[in-house]
């Protein structure tokens, strides 16, 4: 898979991708997967290019705040690489692009720059300045410029339209199982293991503290059953997300995991944790002994889940 990291400033040397799809693809959920599958089917062996946005357009057009992503760009590229697409172009979205008309954007970048003869688009696509590039207008432009439009219907799970927004809502509520149904896979957190306060080791239950990218959405505070892979085998663990209120009145959120039956040194390594089930809320305990008893119960629950799974 060829990656073009700086569209539209650096385009391919030649317009070589006759089938193109474009979108943020945050999370690469079931709806996005249907778009990719449709593009590959329409292409019938011809090269397919995927255009994704970075940063998220809402981070540029909306209020000045950090946009929480289901899949920051490095994760998104890995996910997109699981499909046999020929190329991924990263559109560096800014105010200049936001002001560009849909006609100029489609003609200059997608048709002339990439070589699009078919655009495979989600049902709710809106391109260009003030989102004026509706499916109807894009189809009309296609007749003028010589490309076709293939619209992909929404995907529903249990009667609900799958969207990145609906997945964010579930994760904000700690519903990782519901999020997994919409994603088509467990939600995961990825980060480098860094040194923490060392409280877990003091209690006899050492934890690995993850440094999560600031733009990544971290689910609601609580304790979760998770799974990772180390030394070519699956490892289960209990993940705590929160501020550890038993030891402090307030503080920075931390993401720390105790891995069952693992005794290796993980500092500096990168972990990918699949969040499979929420066990309980994070809460303040009267003392360290009560906290330790609760953590041991959590680990027993995780072990049962791992054994049954």
- For residue 252, give both structure tokens: 């920075």
Q: Which residues are catalytic?
A: 256
d(CA 89, CA 23): 11
d(CA 53, CA 7): 9
């Amino acid at each position: 898979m060829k990656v073009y990291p700086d569209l539209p400033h650096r385009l391919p040397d030649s317009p070589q991708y006759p089938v193109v799809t474009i979108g943020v693809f945050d999370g690469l959920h079931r709806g996005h997967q249907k778009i990719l599958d449709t593009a590959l089917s329409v292409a019938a062996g011809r090269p397919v290019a995927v255009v994704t946005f970075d940063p998220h357009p809402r981070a540029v057009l909306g209020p000045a705040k950090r946009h929480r992503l289901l899949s920051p760009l490095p994760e998104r590229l890995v996910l997109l690489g699981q499909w046999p697409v020929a190329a991924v172009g990263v559109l560096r979205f800014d105010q200049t692009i936001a002001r560009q008309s849909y006609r100029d954007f489609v003609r200059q970048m997608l048709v002339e720059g990439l070589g699009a003869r078919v655009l495979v688009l989600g049902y709710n696509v809106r391109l260009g300045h003030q989102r004026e590039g509706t499916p109807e207008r894009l189809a009309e432009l296609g007749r003028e410029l010589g490309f076709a439009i293939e619209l992909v219907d929404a995907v529903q799970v249990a009667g609900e339209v799958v969207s990145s927004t609906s997945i964010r809502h579930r994760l904000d509520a700690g519903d990782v199982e519901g999020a997994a149904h919409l994603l088509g896979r467990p939600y995961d957190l990825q980060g480098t293991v860094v040194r923490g306060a060392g409280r877990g080791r003091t209690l006899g239950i050492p934890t690995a503290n993850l440094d999560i990218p600031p733009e990544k959405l971290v689910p609601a505070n609580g304790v979760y059953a998770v799974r990772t892979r180390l030394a070519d085998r699956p490892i289960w663990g209990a993940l705590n997300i929160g501020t550890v209120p038993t030891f402090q009145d307030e503080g920075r959120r931390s993401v720390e995991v105790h891995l069952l039956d693992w005794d290796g040194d993980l500092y500096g390594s990168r972990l990918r944790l699949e969040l499979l089930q929420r066990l309980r809320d994070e809460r303040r305990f009267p003392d360290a002994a009560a906290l330790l008893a609760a953590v041991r119960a959590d680990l027993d629950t995780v072990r049962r889940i791992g054994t049954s799974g």
